[in-house]
Amino acid sequence: MSKRMSTYYWMTIPAVLLFFLFLTLPAIQGVYYSFTNYNGFGKTYDFIWFRNYINLFTDNVVGDAYWFTIKFAVVVTIFVNVFSLLIALGLNASIKFRNFFRGIYFLPNILSVLIVGYIFNYLFSNVFTVWGQSLGINALSTNILGNENLAWIGVVIVAVWQSIALNTILYLAGLQTISKDMYEASSLDGAGKWREFWSITFPLIAPFFTINMVLAMKNALMVFDQIVALTNGGPGRATQSISFLIYTGGFEGGEFAYQSANSVIYFIVIAVISILQIRFLQRREMDM
């Protein structure tokens, strides 16, 4: 027994050491710096304890970034899940060329977020505007990425376009676990499609709903590459996400310690949201 256990220990210990060295230790250093006024590369710095944190809570730039990120994440999560569930239902219906269509819907998932962003950046400024002008729609004839109030929608569109791929495939997998007998065996024979969906299909794919909600939310809260490729945080600060602010402020702005404090808060926010979401959705799964 102890021999067996010792093998188990040996299987994990090297990984634990490396993980500690490359992840935990730097994270602890990050927390440590958050109590200083270190600019990232200077030779000296002082301890200022909670000053960074106090400044954070009175900084409306930081507040705006949190507001944008959370608004963005909620909207993206909803749209991604609605669209991918619809597409998955469509793909699961009796249709021709199902595998071909499935292959196309999954395609965006294998592409680099940065490059997809660059492509859409071009489309927003040079293609969609041309459509808007020829159709005479004013709202479409200017680049929405350049509009302070609408730019975030542009980022949402790109994020949804790309995230749908993975979530669709996961929903489809869930739908395929439901055998036809389930519908036939249910007393709802003859009931409308709508009712059938809510009373049979949806409860059976609830675990997939949980995974998809958590995945979509987490990815959206971390949004970074799309911002770099599409808006660079603009116009103004309208699309500055939290991780983008940490990166630009911490490196380009030379305020590493201040943004370290920001990322400590950010870490807490992401952890709390994810845990709450998992708890809530798992409880619903049980109920259903």
Among 111, 135, 188, 276, binds another protein (CB under 8 A): 111
Which 138-167 positions form the footprint of another protein (CB under 8 A)? 141-148, 161, 166
Among 21, 74, 182, 191, binds another protein (CB under 8 A): 21
**Which range binds another protein by CB under 8 A, 65-73, 195-203, 264-272, 279-287?**
264-272
Residue 276 beta carbon to another protein: minimum distance, rounded to whole angstroms: 13
Of 42 and 198, which has the nearer Cβ to another protein?
A: 42
Q: What's the chain look like in SS3?
A: CHHHHHHHHHHHHHHHHHHHHHHHHHHHHHHHHCCECCCCCCCCCCECCCHHHHHHHCCHHHHHHHHHHHHHHHHHHHHHHHHHHHHHHHHHCCCCCHHHHHHHHHHHHHCCHHHHHHHHHHHHHHCHHHHHHHHCCHHHHCCHHHCCCCHHHHHHHHHHHHHHHHHHHHHHHHHHCCCHHHHHHCCCCCCCHHHHHHHHHHHHCHHHHHHHHHHHHHHHHCCCHHHHHHCCCCCCCCCCCHHHHHHHHHHHCCCHHHHHHHHHHHHHHHHHHHHHHHHHHHHHHHHC
Contact between 18 and another protein per CB under 8 A: yes
Residue 19 beta carbon to another protein: minimum distance, rounded to whole angstroms: 6
Among 65, 73, 169, 213, binds another protein (CB under 8 A): 169
Among 127, 135, 182, 188, binds another protein (CB under 8 A): 127
By CB under 8 A, how many residues form the interface with another protein? 128
Contact between 210 and another protein per CB under 8 A: no
Residue 75 beta carbon to another protein: minimum distance, rounded to whole angstroms: 18
Contact between 177 and another protein per CB under 8 A: yes
Which 36-95 positions form the footprint of another protein (CB under 8 A)? 37, 39-43, 46, 48, 51-52, 55, 59, 61, 87, 90-91, 93-95
